[in-house]
Amino acid sequence: IFVNSDCPSAAFFNNSSAAKLTAPCLQSVGGIQYAADALNIPTSCISDGASAYNYPPDNIVFPNIVCPSGESQSGSTLNPGTYTSGNKFPPSGVTSLSPGVYCVENDFVVNGGESLVGSNVIIIMKDGDVSFNGGATINLSGPSGAQSETNPYAGLFMYMPMENQGTISLNGNSGSGFTGSVLAPSANISIDGTGDAGLHGQI
């Protein structure tokens, strides 16, 4: 975990009494605050006072993914495409996503009591916010395997381009889980916990 903020008191703050954050290392430009037992990170690899990076970082190569055209639904399953209609994504009654790329130009919302599953999917939030609410059952994962010429975006689950300064709130019930990286350099991101499966990836 690298925190680029120079906030002196709480550039990084974790005060959970139940959930524990596991990572190999934690570095911050500004201050670090955490409660006892709130982190599962070696104390030898927790440090503040790091040098700040330019924002956005000069060395980031952003994805250049071609959005599929059209919108297509088969029963309760949604197919890859570019979704602009309706007031939210996915449409009402959809419970699964077929493998592929989904370009979204409105809010991505899964409410409590709803369910959504999909593997080998990439969500590109061209516009709008992401809200996965508590009580929802959500299991989504990006392309698996190693990166290669034929699988260049392996491990990428969600991409919110720099020009989308929206919000991402990931929550769910005890059966929810997310696998893959969330690349959202301008977003306000909130991870509220997802139970046993959790989030396996980078943010």
pLDDT at residue 174, as a whole number: 78
Contact at 8 Å (CB) between 123 and 102? yes
Taking residues 52-56, report their average pLDDT.
85
Neighbours of 70 (CB within 10 A): 9
pLDDT at 63 over 80: yes
pLDDT in tens, 78-122: 999 999 998 899 999 999 999 999 999 999 999 989 999 999 999
pLDDT at 10 over 70: yes
pLDDT at residue 203, as a whole number: 87
Residue 77: pLDDT band with limits 50, 70, 90: very high
| Rounded distance between C-alpha atoms, residue 108 and residue 64, angstroms | 21
pLDDT at 194 over 60: no
Structure tokens at 193: 């916990």
pLDDT at 198 over 80: no
Distances, alpha carbon 6 to alpha carbons 28, 31, 45, 51, 52, in Å: 8, 7, 19, 9, 8
Contact at 8 Å (CB) between 180 and 151? no
Strand pairing class (39-40; 21-22): parallel
pLDDT at 195 over 70: no
Structure tokens at 13: 């703050």
Q: How many C-alpha atoms does 114 have within 13 Å on its Cβ side?
A: 19
> 43 phi and psi, to 5 degrees?
-60, -25
Residue recorded with tokens 């990286």: 181
Strand pairing class (198-200; 26-28): unpaired
Contact at 8 Å (CB) between 125 and 104? yes
pLDDT at residue 172, as a whole number: 75
The conformation of residue 175, written as its DSSP 8-state character, comes to: B
Q: pTM of the predicted model, to two decimals?
A: 0.84
User: Which region among 12-21, 108-117, 158-167, 187-196 has the lowest average model confidence (pLDDT)?
Assistant: 187-196
pLDDT in tens, 143-178: 999 999 999 999 999 999 999 999 999 887 778 888
> SS3 for 100?
strand
User: Which residues contact residue 137 at a Cβ distance below 8 angstroms, ignoring those fewer than 6 apart?
Assistant: 114, 115, 116, 172, 173, 175, 176
Residue 140: pLDDT band with limits 50, 70, 90: very high
